[in-house]
């Protein structure tokens, strides 16, 4: 068992919700392991937060199937005890399923699902052995509402992540480890710039948006208090509730009518 101070490992920490989760944990005095593809951004974030907490930067691309084991090996070699795992890394793939090459879809599955399951399998045993731990999985409102055309794998992967989180929480909380699915809706980050949807989503009502700092704070509060799932924002909670209680056919029709405002199905 590593003997260092307990650290929080945050994937996708170079921007957006991941960076703000790192900031939130730093504010609470939690040492950090920051990982993402963009090493220069991680170094900048570490420089920002190092006055508050120790920060370790380990650049990695989770689209590489070997990356989770390599990350684990590096933290083990440094003697770091990771008692908090934040699975935040991810990206959306716009367009119809057949309009995108398989390599891109495979990378999406690897980052959004396989790497999450693998990292959890690697870090959870030490948490259970110590009798304490937290796993925060950044899912999405998209995993709780009916499917619509476009971004075919994203909602499906987030629905899987929510169920995975809830099941794992039931298995592990008696051993002192809490697992939370964080389900934000529209959030001010680079996500929509990367997937080319910024122009469309910018037309959505301002009232449904939250900042990534707000989402981060709510997510960390939820996992630290042992909540298995949190939907952020009143509007998103309303949408999730309506999706649950409306007849499936009506819910799908309503979402399909609005999907062009936030999804590219071409």
Alpha helices in the chain (DSSP H): 16-27, 39-49, 67-77, 102-109, 115-130, 152-172, 191-194, 198-201, 212-225, 234-245, 248-258
Query: String of b and e for 20-36 (b: at least 16 CB within 10 Å)?
Result: bbbbbbbeeebbbbbbb
203-251 residue pLDDT tens: 555 656 789 999 999 999 999 999 999 999 888 888 888 777 767 776 6
Range of 152-156, 173-177, 185-189, 193-197 with top mean pLDDT: 173-177
Higher pLDDT, 131 or 207: 131
Question: Cα 44 to chain center, whole Å?
Answer: 21
- pLDDT more than 70, % of the chain: 83
184-216 residue pLDDT tens: 987 766 554 454 454 554 555 565 678 999 999
Question: Cα 229 to chain center, whole Å?
Answer: 13
Higher pLDDT, 159 or 150: 159
H or E element: which one contains 14? none
Boundaries of every domain in the chain: 6-261
- Considering the domain delimited by 6-261, tell me its CATH architecture: 3-Layer(aba) Sandwich (3.40)
* 112 pLDDT higher than 50: yes
Answer yes or no: are the C-beta atoms of 149 and 194 closer than 8 Å: no
80-100 residue pLDDT tens: 999 999 999 999 899 999 999
Between CA 219 and CA 227 the distance in angstroms is 9
Active site residue 154: yes
Answer yes or no: are the C-beta atoms of 235 and 207 closer than 8 Å: yes
What is the structure's pLDDT at 1? 47
Q: Which of 25, 97, 123, 154 is catalytic?
A: 154
> For residue 131, what pLDDT band results from cuts at 50, 70 and 90?
very high
DSSP string, 66-87: THHHHHHHHHHHTT-EEEEEEE
Between CA 64 and CA 106 the distance in angstroms is 10
Between CA 143 and CA 156 the distance in angstroms is 6
* 35 pLDDT higher than 90: yes
| Average pLDDT for the chain | 88
* 118 pLDDT higher than 60: yes
What is the structure's pLDDT at 208? 63
Between CA 125 and CA 145 the distance in angstroms is 33
* 161 pLDDT higher than 80: yes
Count CA atoms closer than 13 A to 59's CA, side-chain side.
9
Its pTM stands at: 0.87
Between CA 123 and CA 103 the distance in angstroms is 28
Tokens of 120: 């959890």
Between CA 217 and CA 180 the distance in angstroms is 13
Instruction: Give every CB contact of residue 191 below 8 A, 6+ residues apart in sequence.
Output: 16, 91, 92
What is the structure's pLDDT at 263? 56
Burial-class residue 84 by CB neighbours within 10 Å (0-12, 13-18, 19+).
buried
């Amino acid at each position: 068992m590593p003997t260092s101070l307990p650290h929080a490992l945050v994937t996708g920490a170079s921007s957006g919700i991941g960076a703000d989760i790192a900031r939130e944990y730093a504010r609470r005095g939690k040492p950090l392991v920051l990982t993402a593809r963009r090493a220069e951004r991680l170094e900048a974030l570490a420089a920002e937060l190092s006055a508050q907490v120790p920060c370790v930067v380990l650049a990695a691309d989770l689209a590489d199937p070997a990356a989770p084991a390599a990350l684990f090996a590096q933290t083990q070699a440094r003697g770091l005890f990771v008692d908090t795992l934040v699975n935040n890394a991810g990206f959306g793939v716009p367009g119809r399923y057949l309009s995108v090459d398989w390599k891109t879809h495979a990378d999406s599955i690897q980052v959004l699902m396989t790497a999450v399951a693998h990292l959890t399998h690697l870090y959870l045993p030490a948490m259970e052995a110590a009798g304490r731990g937290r796993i925060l999985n950044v899912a999405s409102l998209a995993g709780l509402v009916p499917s619509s055309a476009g971004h075919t794998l994203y909602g499906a992967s987030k629905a899987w992540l929510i169920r995975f989180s809830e099941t794992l929480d039931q298995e592990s909380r008696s051993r002192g480890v809490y697992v939370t699915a964080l389900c934000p809706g529209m959030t001010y980050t680079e996500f929509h710039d990367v997937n080319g949807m910024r122009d469309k989503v910018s037309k959505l009502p301002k009232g449904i948006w939250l900042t990534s700092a707000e989402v981060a704070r709510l997510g960390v509060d939820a996992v630290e208090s042992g909540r298995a799932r949190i939907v952020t924002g009143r509007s998103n909670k309303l949408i999730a509730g309506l999706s649950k209680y409306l007849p499936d056919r009506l819910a799908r029709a309503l979402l399909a009518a609005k999907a062009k405002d936030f999804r590219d199905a071409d």
